[in-house]
Structure 1
């Protein structure tokens, strides 16, 4: 993975689901909200897996890939929750990684960047923050 925790606002392609600001204008709106979603909302609802070691987060991501990501990037929240309960070292892991709704500005650096730029229903690639290694499932967004 390397240094993919750059907090730059350009959103370069290290996080597969976080395509940067450009992706909002490329017609990714499968839910009928084509241009308004990525990076412009005020709140995001997300689940995550947090691991201290890169090897452990990669193992969790591989399970997601083998089960769902190779079939269109849509992991059901209940299935993501099982992976979070099994792998996450965050207290939220007991709740399936559920972070609920949080506003822009609450989460730090790369976590916020990825959370607010991951399309609804999509799962981010593993990335590093100051707390460890994460995978995020974006469940919703609102203003």
Structure 2
């Protein structure tokens, strides 16, 4: 009985009506837990790159390079350029691959990392944030259900 509490249009029958406040261009499948109406928190998979540093000063230095090169102009950071900084700054083994984490499902990454990864729009670089592993910057490269 509990399954009927949420709309479930998983068959994709295209019922034209959505619950009040539903976003027009993202995830109308009712699967997501985000419920923000922007489609960001509703995808199932994210493709991302990241930079991980143990020290806040080091992640801030990497972020400043991103700001000086692109972010201060309102530009999006090209993945190839983000990859160069990840190779230079990241202390994660993925740094050797330009910080590439590939596609990962909701529930695979812990706490704040998952939250930021699934709520950063495609092509956008997150601000530095802290997780249990250290300090991160994420570049969102894709999302899918």
Fold match, TM over 0.5?
yes
Report deviation, 1:37: 3.0
The answer (yes or no) to whether the contact 2:27–2:43 under 8 Å persists in 1 is no
Q: What TM-score results when the alignment is normalised by the length of structure 2?
A: 0.74
Between structure 1 and structure 2, the one with the greater Rg is 2
- The answer for the alignment partner of 1:119 in structure 2 is 121
Q: Distance in 2 between matches of 1:16 and 1:133?
A: 38
User: Is the CA contact (8 Å cut-off) linking 2:49 and 2:141 kept in structure 1?
Assistant: yes
Q: Count the aligned residue pairs.
A: 142
Which fold has the larger relative contact order, with Cα–Cα distance below 8 Å and residues 6 or more apart in sequence? Answer: 1
**TM-score (normalised: structure 1):** 0.75
Decide whether the 8 Å contact of 1:10 with 1:20 is kept in 2: no
Gaps of 5+ in 1: none
2: distance between equivalents of 1:66 and 1:17?
41
C-alpha offsets along residues 67-99 of structure 1, whole Å, 9 cap, x if unaligned?
011122510000000000000000000000000
* Residues 90-125 of structure 1: CA deviation (Å, up to 9, x unaligned): 000000000000000000000000000000000000
Residue 32 of structure 2 contacts residue 41 of structure 2 at CA under 8 Å; is this kept in 1? no
- 4+ long deviations beyond 6 Å: 1-33
Query: Which residue does 1:101 correspond to in 2?
Result: 103
Structure 2 unpaired stretches of 5+:
none
